[in-house]
């Protein structure tokens, strides 16, 4: 390892060659302010266009100030991070950015969580001397994501997320100079583009330029409507992150408080999406075993590997980008849609309610779920199985609106029957979880033996692409896992090229899986937060008595009373779906 020695603010620093000035400064406790810069270790996300120029420092002997995020340390450098020249430049640049930014902080969705706002405060900007024309753009309101480009500061993080991490390629800078802005090609609306609504752009946007479509007021409208029975269900990743919105440490599990809050908000039935996750495993696992069985029997028409289909961002991705491979993913609906389908049939029947009087609300870590529930195939006579999908952040806002002291809430339990779930369902919330849950069930169904060891460490972790071979009692099953659509693309290209050896692959659109979803509390670039959420998820799994989906008594009851058998006729009608070639649908 080659090292270099330099001085930062008169302090000697020794760092590895290639270290940026920003990192070197951090190592001695000097936090140089940044704005466009963002790096998420473990997830292949690094954005440092060197565009905002807020992190500039003075390097002795250089004519211009240097962006510390992009400049590497060199032997003997003398750096000043807060000279009069630097501070004046930084503040002036900040004023410039603010001079082309709407002063709507009081009513902005991002207020309080906005990196631009907090930086302006840190720098003590009290007036903007350089005033002038501000850019105006039409707002773009897709079912999931809202773009208000007046608030864009051209940090380009969304571009990095969309192009480099997700390889979706919808967002890029267009126009030039003062009019430059990040947008889909030809400034088309997101809805018309190949956007997957994964929401990773929203997750990294430092300002309110990219936000979710807020449905919380519609949820409240339904709750107060005396004619409606409002059912809520919460995804596994929500309970591992919601606490952060109320100042709790990342990774604090708040399942009980969340249930309590939902009940206080007035939902008639508080259920768990995990119930539907167990149901998903029953269907998907059965489908896997079916396809595997036929494949092993020599049926050439059977396509392997089977790919998971519970992530709607991922579904959008392959519908747009790999329309010739629509027959490979499992036909099983996502847990959200399975939940809706059962809630509006089986459960509505139990309540003796008409489906249109039942409102299903899901709380998701995800923005693509908002789009998913609006898809036509998930409606019956125009009535969606899931009426509204709100994000973790929106739920937090509802809780604040209701003046609930979240931290002080007593723990509460989900309602039955659709609140019961196993540990297998909980781990749906992280990358590797779905396939681990599927293995737990498929193993036992296939081998008719009891699994001794439930924790498949080999399937866990944060690596973008992981693989493992699981011994199904003599039958080696090759499992692949990818999170982040860029990684998914690699596996898909392999399949296309006939190079894939996998029998089953789990794919999650968001880096980290649902814990890193576009609807989660903002991580602001701290990847440790994702890891803590992941640990919380596995912890919850460990604490469960039942940890295999097929052991969920209410699932067993559901099949017995209503569905018949997994992948049976009724299941196919309610729990399976089909995919569309969306390549042709792009309109400009």
Partner 1 sequence: MAKFKNHVLVCGGTGCRASQGEEIVQNLNQVIEENGIEQDVQVVRTGCFGFCEKGPVVKMVPDNTFYVQVTPDDATEIVKEHLVKGRKVERLLYTDPETKERVSESKDMGFYKKQIRIALRNCGFINPENIDEYIARDGYAALGKALTEMKPEEVIKEILDSGLRGRGGGGFPTGLKWELTRKVDADQKYVVCNADEGDPGAFMDRSILEGDPHAVLEAMAINGFCTGASIGLIYIRAEYPLAISRLKIAIEQAREYGLLGKDILGTGFDFDVEMRYGAGAFVCGEETSLIHSMEGLRGEPTVKPPFPSESGYKGKPTNVNNVETYANIPVILLEGAKWFSSIGTDKSKGTKVFALAGKVNNVGLIEVPMGTTLREVIFDIGGGIKDGKGFKAVQTGGPSGGCLTEKHLDIPIDYDNLLACGSMMGSGGMIVMDEDDCMVSMAKFYLDFTVEESCGKCAPCRIGNKRLYEMLDKITEGKGTDEDLGHLRNLSNVIKDTSLCGLGQTSPNPVLSTMENFWDEYVAHVKDDKCPAGQCKSLMQYVIVEDKCVGCTLCSRVCPVDCIVGDKKAPHVITQDICIKCGACYDKCKFGAISIQ
Q: Is position 172 an interface residue for partner 1 (rule: CB under 8 A)?
A: yes
Q: Is position 100 an interface residue for partner 1 (rule: CB under 8 A)?
A: yes
Q: Is position 61 an interface residue for partner 1 (rule: CB under 8 A)?
A: no
Q: Decide if 369 is catalytic.
A: yes
Q: Decide if 514 is catalytic.
A: yes
Q: Is position 374 an interface residue for partner 1 (rule: CB under 8 A)?
A: no
Q: Decide if 310 is catalytic.
A: yes
- Is residue 135 within 8 Å of 150, Cβ to Cβ? yes
Identified catalytic residue from 115, 212, 319, 372: 372
Nearest Cα neighbor of 159 from 100, 211, 200, 116 is 200
Q: Is position 2 an interface residue for partner 1 (rule: CB under 8 A)?
A: no
Identified catalytic residue from 284, 420, 436, 540: 284
Strand 358-364's sheet: what is its strand order? 269-272, 229-234, 358-364, 388-391
Q: Decide if 287 is catalytic.
A: yes
The region of 131-139, 225-233, 261-269, 528-536 touching partner 1 under the rule CB under 8 A is: 131-139
Helix H, strand E, coil C: the string for 159-172 is HHHHHHHCCCCCCE
Which of 77, 153, 235, 261: binder of partner 1 (CB under 8 A)? Answer: 153
Q: Is position 176 an interface residue for partner 1 (rule: CB under 8 A)?
A: yes
- Is residue 241 within 8 Å of 520, Cβ to Cβ? yes
Q: Which two tokens stand for residue 544?
A: 């469960």
Q: Is position 180 an interface residue for partner 1 (rule: CB under 8 A)?
A: yes
Which residues, at least 6 apart from 533, have a Cβ–Cβ distance to it below 8 Å? 237, 240, 241, 250, 251, 429, 430, 512, 515, 516, 520
The region of 170-178, 255-263, 282-290, 501-509 touching partner 1 under the rule CB under 8 A is: 170-178
Identified catalytic residue from 69, 198, 310, 366: 310
What 3-state class would DSSP assign to 208? coil
Identified catalytic residue from 48, 369, 370, 531: 369
Tell the smallest beta-carbon distance from residue 86 to partner 1 (Å): 9
Tell the smallest beta-carbon distance from residue 172 to partner 1 (Å): 7
Q: Is position 129 an interface residue for partner 1 (rule: CB under 8 A)?
A: yes
- Is residue 112 within 8 Å of 60, Cβ to Cβ? no
Helix axes 433-447, 273-296, angle to 10 degrees: 60
Q: Is position 206 an interface residue for partner 1 (rule: CB under 8 A)?
A: no
Helix H, strand E, coil C: the string for 440-507 is HHHHHHHHCCCCCCCCCHHHCCCCCEEEEEEEECCEEEEEEEEECHHHHHHHHHHHHCCCCCCCEEEE
Nearest Cα neighbor of 479 from 443, 531, 522 is 443
Q: Is position 190 an interface residue for partner 1 (rule: CB under 8 A)?
A: no
- Is residue 22 within 8 Å of 39, Cβ to Cβ? no
Which residues, at least 6 apart from 45, have a Cβ–Cβ distance to it below 8 Å? 38, 39, 160, 161, 164, 165, 204, 511
- Whichever of 99 and 467 has its CB closer to partner 1, that residue is 99
Q: Is position 39 an interface residue for partner 1 (rule: CB under 8 A)?
A: no
* DSSP label of 184: S
Q: Is position 179 an interface residue for partner 1 (rule: CB under 8 A)?
A: yes
End-to-end CA gap in the chain: 52
The region of 69-77, 195-203, 219-227, 396-404 touching partner 1 under the rule CB under 8 A is: 69-77
Which of 43, 47, 71, 430: binder of partner 1 (CB under 8 A)? Answer: 71
Q: Is position 96 an interface residue for partner 1 (rule: CB under 8 A)?
A: yes
Q: Decide if 377 is catalytic.
A: yes
Q: Is position 123 an interface residue for partner 1 (rule: CB under 8 A)?
A: no
Q: Which two tokens stand for residue 164?
A: 């480099």
- Whichever of 175 and 556 has its CB closer to partner 1, that residue is 175
Tell the smallest beta-carbon distance from residue 67 to partner 1 (Å): 6
Tell the smallest beta-carbon distance from residue 53 to partner 1 (Å): 4
Nearest Cα neighbor of 437 from 445, 512, 515 is 445
Q: Is position 127 an interface residue for partner 1 (rule: CB under 8 A)?
A: no
Q: Decide if 11 is catalytic.
A: no
Which of 44, 83, 99, 397: binder of partner 1 (CB under 8 A)? Answer: 99
Which residues, at least 6 apart from 88, have a Cβ–Cβ distance to it below 8 Å? none
Residues that bind partner 1 (CB under 8 A): 49-54, 56, 64-65, 67, 70-72, 85, 88-89, 92-93, 96-97, 99-100, 129-133, 153-154, 172-173, 175-180
Residues classed as catalytic: 284, 287, 310, 330, 369, 372, 377, 514
């Amino acid at each position: 390892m080659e090292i270099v020695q330099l001085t930062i603010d008169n302090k000697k620093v020794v760092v590895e060659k290639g270290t940026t000035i920003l990192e070197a400064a951090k190592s001695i406790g000097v936090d140089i302010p940044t704005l466009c810069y963002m790096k998420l270790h473990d997830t292949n996300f690094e954005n440092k266009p060197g565009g905002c120029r807020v992190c500039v420092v003075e390097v002795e002997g250089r004519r211009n100030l240097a962006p510390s995020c992009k400049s590497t340390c060199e032997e003997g450098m003398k750096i000043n991070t807060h000279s009069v020249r630097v501070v004046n430049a930084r503040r002036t640049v900040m004023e410039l950015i603010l001079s082309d930014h709407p002063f709507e902080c009081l009513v902005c969705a991002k207020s309080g969580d906005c990196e631009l706002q907090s930086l302006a405060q840190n720098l003590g900007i009290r007036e903007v001397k350089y005033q002038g024309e501000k850019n105006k753009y039409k707002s773009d309101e897709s079912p999931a994501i809202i773009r208000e480009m007046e608030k864009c500061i051209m940090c380009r993080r969304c571009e990095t997320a969309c192009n480099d991490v997700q390889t979706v390629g919808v967002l890029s800078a267009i126009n030039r100079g003062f009019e430059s802005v990040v947008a889909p090609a030809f400034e088309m609306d997101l809805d018309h583009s190949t956007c997957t609504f994964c929401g990773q752009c929203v997750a990294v946007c430092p300002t309110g330029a990219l936000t979710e479509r807020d449905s919380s007021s519609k949820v409240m409208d339904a709750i107060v409507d005396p004619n409606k029975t409002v059912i809520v269900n919460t995804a596994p990743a929500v309970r591992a992150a919601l606490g952060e919105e109320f100042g709790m440490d990342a990774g604090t599990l708040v399942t009980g408080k969340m249930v309590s809050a939902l009940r206080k908000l007035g939902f008639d039935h508080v259920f768990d999406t995990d119930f539907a996750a167990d149901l998903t495993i029953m269907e998907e696992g059965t489908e896997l075993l079916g396809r595997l069985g036929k494949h092993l029997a020599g049926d050439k028409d059977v396509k392997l590997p089977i790919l998971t289909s519970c992530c709607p961002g991922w579904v959008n991705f392959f519908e747009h980008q790999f329309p010739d491979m629509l027959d490979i993913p499992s036909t099983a609906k996502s847990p959200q849609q399975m939940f809706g389908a059962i809630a509006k049939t089986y459960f509505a029947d139990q309540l003796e309610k008409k489906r249109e009087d039942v409102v299903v609300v899901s709380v998701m870590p995800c923005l693509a779920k908002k789009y998913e529930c609006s898809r036509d195939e998930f409606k019956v006579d125009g009535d969606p199985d899931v009426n509204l999908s709100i994000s973790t952040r929106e739920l937090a806002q509802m809780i604040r609106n209701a003046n609930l002291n979240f931290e002080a809430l007593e723990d509460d339990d989900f309602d039955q029957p659709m609140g019961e779930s196993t540990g297998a369902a909980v781990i749906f919330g992280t990358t590797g979880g779905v396939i681990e849950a599927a293995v737990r069930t498929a193993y036992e169904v296939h081998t008719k033996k009891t699994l001794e060891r439930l924790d498949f460490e080999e399937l866990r972790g944060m690596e973008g692409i992981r693989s493992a071979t699981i011994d199904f009692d003599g039958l080696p099953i090759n499992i692949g896992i990818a999170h982040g659509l860029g990684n998914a693309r690699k596996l898909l290209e392999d399949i296309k090229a006939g190079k894939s050896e996998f029998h089953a692959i789990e794919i999650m659109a968001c880096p980290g899986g649902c814990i890193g979803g576009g609807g989660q509390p903002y991580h602001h670039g701290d990847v440790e937060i994702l890891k803590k959420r992941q640990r919380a998820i596995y912890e919850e799994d460990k604490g469960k008595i039942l940890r295999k989906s097929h052991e969920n008594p209410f699932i067993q009851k559901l099949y017995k009373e209503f569905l018949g058998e997994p992948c049976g006729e009724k299941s196919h009608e309610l729990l399976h779906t089909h995919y569309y070639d969306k390549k042709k649908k792009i309109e400009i």
